[in-house]
Amino acid sequence: MTSFLSFADLCHRVEEVSSTLDKIDLVAAFLAGLDDEELAISSNFVMGTVFPPGSDIVMGVGPSTLYEALARACGCPNSQIQEMLRAAGDAGLVASRVVEKRRPQNFASFIGQDQLSISDVYQRFVAVAKASGKRSQDAKIKNLQFLFSQASELEALYIARLSIEDMRIGVGEGGVRDALAKAFGRPADAVERGYSLTNDMGLVAVSAKKGTLSDLGVMLNHPIKMMLAQLGAGIPASLKEIGTAAIEWKYDGARVQIHKDGEKVRIFSRRLENVTASLPDIVRDATQMIHAKTAILDGEAVAIAEDGRPRAFQEVLKRFRRKYNVKRLAAEIPLKPFLFDLIYLEGESVIDLPLSERRALLVKVAEPSLVAEQFLSEKVEVAKRIYKEALSAGHEGIMLKNPASAYTPGKRGKNWLKIKPVMETLDLVVIGARWGEGRRASFLGSYRLACVDPETGRLLDVGWVATGLTDEALSELTGIFKELIVVQKGMEMELKPAVIFEVAYEEIQKSPNYSSGFALRFPRLVRVRDDKSLEEADTLERVASLYKMQRGRNKSPSARSESAGQE
């Protein structure tokens, strides 16, 4: 068995180098020497995940749980841990110092039987994730405390970071993909396709080792990344690009991927989280109105008000977050699914079929009331009419889709174009917060935002947002972010990156005050996009592109309209 110490040493060396290629070489060399079980675990661990997306179990460890485990491990009060955090700024470094106080340096290395293996750490994480019931929090803390009692300083650093799934070593999905390709001599695009179809890096790693990547395919109960749309440059230009298009309403709801396996239904969110328990009405509709033994379907869940119009997007997300009193909230905010694509049917993947054929199969297996309306046309006036109808009904706009296109998981391209009359916005990661003042002193009143550097995976700040937030929203957000506080220093705090804000702004400016080199002028929160994963956050490249677009204009690109009649 491979020791966890060797994995921790790998992470330390990867963290120390700045070159992406050097990081990949280090990871590849390590992964190449592991057995199948360790390979599956480590391929996820190295990019900061414990279980693959859509798994029935999730870590469920917030910073506060971790800090309590550390306090117990060192026999000190939680307040002392908080002081150490303020000084170190990193939960991993605090864990390392706690262990250093607990026993002599490298003591574990002298006693072979005390050394943790990669599998040992994983099994403890499984126990943490499976803890449930009234004493679940205590069980989580005790399992983490046990790991810290057995760990060396270096191991503790990465156990702490792994437990909150925030590794900070600069290796993401792309890095692991390239490392696996290098380790086992496989084409990177074959590794990437395997991951896009299974969303399970551990499974892909073992397949790469065995040379069976071509055997991987879409599987029931393994969510795959959803196909994404690109913003269209108005209806005329978009139709000129696509030609005859499949025109659909762009619903103001939340994306759902429905897996039907006989009488069993599972539902996954856009972030590929299992949200089945929160959506009993969608489960009921899928069970009763999808006439296929096995199927994976793509669609939108919309909250319909009594007047037939969609309710606010945040109302929809309340349903997805709900863990308790699910039936009561389902009665208050009923959801209706609108299905627009098919991914898998009766044991076979259909993603490589053209949209027109997938649509024909969808219509055959789903009752008409579940299927989103679609119109085929190349005429601008037809698309404009449908666009106006969608807006009048309270939805976001329309989708123009290429009928000949395959379903490409996780890809954003010109085969799906969205047309909507909104300001240009950015999807940014919340990485920090500041307590409010006056009557908002009990709320986190402003939030630090970041874009992603695609080269390194680092989050680069672009400023703060404090407007567009009602007291009700601030109260709800404060409750969410309190569980994500990593370090607090005075009025400000660092947050675990987990939530995306959609932000409008007046202008993008150059700024040496932020690590991105840019700042948003008059940013305003449009909505919380906790239906989106961190991988969908906007990149530094997009921020720079928008900055260049606005130069020389009298009007900021943030006011650019994508209205139906405008090119």
Dump the DSSP string for 59-79.
----HHHHHHHHHHHHT--HH
Of 250, 336, 418, 532, which is the active-site residue? Answer: 250
Q: Give dist(CA 103, CA 75) in Å, integer.
A: 12
Domain 426-559: give its CATH superfamily. Nucleic acid-binding proteins (2.40.50.140)
> Positive or negative CA dihedral for 106, 107, 112, 118?
negative
CA distance 484 to 76: 22
3-state SS class at 107:
helix
Distance CA 20, CA 12 (A): 15
Place of tokens 């307590």: 435
Helices H, strands E: what count in the chain?
Answer: 21, 19
**Exposed, middle or buried: residue 33 (CB in 10 Å: 0-12, 13-18, 19+)?**
exposed
Measured distance between the N- and C-terminal CA atoms of the chain, rounded to whole angstroms: 62
Amino acid at 320: F
Strand-pair partners of 397: 250
Q: Are 500 and 429 in contact (CB under 8 A)?
A: yes
Of 398, 282, 298, 400, nearest in space to 350 by CA? 298
DSSP code of 202?
H
User: Residue 229's beta-bridge partner residues?
Assistant: 413
Residues in the chain: 567
Distance (Å, rounded) from C-alpha 87 to C-alpha 84? 5
Q: List, in sequence order, every beta strand (DSSP E) within 331-396.
A: 335-345, 348-349, 375-377
The one-letter code for the residue type at 461 is D
Q: Which candidate, 337, 202, 197, places its Cα nearest to that of 281?
A: 337
What is the fold of 49-163?
DNA ligase i, domain 1 (1.10.3260)
Phi-psi region of 346 (alpha: psi -120 to 50; beta: other; left: phi over 0): left
Domain spans in the chain, listed from the N-terminal domain onward: 49-163, 228-419, 426-559
Report d(CA 525, CA 425) in Å as an integer. 10
- The residue whose two tokens read 């605090």 is 94
Give me the sheet containing 335-345, strands edge to edge. Answer: 264-269, 254-261, 294-303, 335-345, 348-349
pLDDT in tens, the chain (567 residues): 899 999 999 999 999 998 999 999 999 999 999 999 999 999 999 999 999 988 888 898 988 899 899 888 888 888 888 888 877 778 889 899 888 876 554 444 444 446 899 999 999 999 999 998 888 889 999 999 999 989 999 999 999 999 999 898 989 889 999 999 999 999 999 999 999 899 999 999 999 999 999 999 999 999 999 999 988 888 999 999 999 999 999 998 899 999 999 999 999 999 899 999 999 999 999 999 999 999 999 999 999 888 888 888 878 888 887 777 888 988 889 999 999 999 999 999 999 999 999 999 999 999 999 999 999 999 999 999 999 999 999 898 999 999 999 999 988 889 999 998 766 789 999 999 998 877 777 888 899 999 998 877 889 999 999 877 777 788 888 888 888 888 887 788 899 899 999 999 988 989 988 999 999 988 999 888 878 888 889 999 999 988 887 754 434 333 333 333 333
d(CA 55, CA 201): 12
Half-sphere exposure of 540 (CA within 13 A, CB side): 16
| pLDDT score at 103 | 53
C-alpha span between 132 and 324 (Å, rounded):
14
CATH number of 228-419: 3.30.470.30
Q: Round to whole Å and give the CA distance between 452 and 2.
A: 33
CA pair distance 470, 445, nearest whole angstrom: 10
Could you tell me where the DSSP H helices lie in 131-261? 136-150, 153-163, 173-184, 188-198, 201-210, 235-242
**CA 147, 149, 152, 154: dihedral to nearest 10 degrees?**
50
8 Å CB contact between 338 and 251: yes
Active site residue 384: no
